[in-house]
Chains A and B, each alone.
Chain A
Amino acid sequence: MGTTTSEVDLVYAWVLMIGMGLITFALRFGPLTLFSKIDLPRLAHQSFRLVIPAVFAALVMPVLVLINGTPILNPLTNPKLIAAVVAVIVAWRTNHMLLTLGAGMLVIWGLRWVGIG
């Protein structure tokens, strides 16, 4: 980082680490164990199938569209968009994770090699 950081309180650091570990674990463990013991309504089961599209669209879209917080939709200045289109086509046709990420990364590297991005 190169910056001169002042002393970080050791107690603060440990409390933070243990606290974050417990919080993260509780969020992961809570529903996993609780809902495995009770019968959930049908509506809940129907919603589970939608977790992947809903969560992963929300994870992916800002990464693809935003550069330093600003939406850039010009593929020449945001080549991630070109790679994403290729990845979507490969994913659609093959439903294969390795092929999809391989295609996306190859497009990113190829575009950089020809001077875009």
Chain B
Amino acid sequence: MNPTFSNVLVSTPRQQFVAGMRAQIPNTSGIMPFGMIAGAFTATVLQSQLLAVLYTSGVFAGRAQMVAMQLVLDKSPIFVPLAACVVINLRHLMYGAALSEYFRHVPLRWKILSAFLMTDLSYIVGYPHFRKEVGTPNAATSLWFFIGASIMNWGAWSTGGVIGALIGAQIPLSWSLDLVPTFSFIAALVNGMRDKAGFVAGAAAGICAVVLAGLPWSMGLFISAIIGLVLGLLIEKKAQSARRGN
């Protein structure tokens, strides 16, 4: 190994961090307005701007927050929004499990930070990056790409939350910025569906999610994802045994 040569090739944590932040920038155009809406709605429901700001930045789970606030408005007993929060955020179990193999040698403090910052958007930006760099010299610093991307996401969301809590949601709904995350999700989804198992997983989960959309607390989301995952795995197993058979 030539040390000067590898110094040029290997990304420093700082470079990874900046690259991760940069990769997340496009998504801030969707996440900041969403933060504004969540902050404004929460301030109205809880009648406290301070609580709305703490809530938005400190819980960092937009869907769960919107559902919970609606349940508070409906005067539900406290276990109802708490239970809804569990159900809506169950998908994070899958993100945590899938990311765990890249966290084997990560100190506890960075695991805590990464877990706090973990969201849909940090996952679709961070996970493919981990996979791309695993086995390369850059794998040692991939974590910082994930943290950079996640902090950018958190910063945009929290900024939106503060603005929303203090002066209300300032961006017209007619701009449709709520669709920005959807298109980012499509980019990740299409890439994940390029092979047969991924395609079956996505198609099955998508159909189930539409059928089950009426279930309370977005329960259909997790159920559909599990159905997609299991069917995709079955396809993969079948393809493997066919390869072994031939």
Chain A interfacial positions (CB closer than 8 Å to B): 1, 5, 7-8, 10, 12-17, 19-21, 23-25, 27-37, 40, 43-66, 69, 71, 80, 83-84, 87-88, 91-92, 95-98, 100-105, 108-109, 112
Contacts and interface: CB of A to CB of B under 8 A. Distances in A.
Nearest to B61: A24
A64 B54 CA distance: 31
Nearest to A48: B98
A15 B59 CA distance: 12
Given A88-B186, A91-B186, A92-B190, A31 B100 contact: yes
B143 to A, nearest CB: 12
A45 B101 contact: yes
Given A31-B94, A45-B101, A50-B229, 13 more contacts: A1-B44, A8-B47, A23-B82, A23-B85, A32-B99, A35-B97, A54-B227, A58-B222, A61-B209, A66-B213, A91-B187, A100-B184, A108-B176
Contacts, number: 291
Contacts of A98: 26
Nearest to A66: B213
Interface string B194-207: 00011101111111
Contacts of B226: 54
A13 B89 contact: no
Interface residues of B, number: 100
Contact of B197 (A16, A28, A50): A50
A63 B128 CA distance: 24
Given A27-B89, A50-B198, A51-B94, A84 B186 contact: yes
A22 B145 CA distance: 25
A78 to B, nearest CB: 12
A77 B54 CA distance: 39
22 contacts: A1-B41, A12-B72, A24-B85, A27-B90, A29-B115, A33-B100, A33-B111, A33-B115, A35-B96, A36-B106, A46-B233, A50-B198, A52-B192, A57-B202, A59-B182, A59-B209, A66-B210, A92-B190, A95-B191, A97-B26, A97-B184, A104-B183
Nearest to A13: B46
A36 B111 contact: yes
B228 A8 contact: no
B68 A56 contact: no
A5 B73 CA distance: 8
Interface stretch (B6-14, B116-124, B155-163): B116-124
Given A71-B210, A87-B183, A25 B176 contact: no
B243 interface: no
A35 B93 CA distance: 11
A29 B96 contact: yes
B45 interface: yes
A51 B186 contact: no
Shortest 4 CB-CB contacts between residues of A and residues of B: A54-B228, A35-B100, A104-B183, A31-B96
B183 to A, nearest CB: 4
A62 B210 contact: yes
Contacts of B51: 13-14, 17
A17 B54 contact: yes
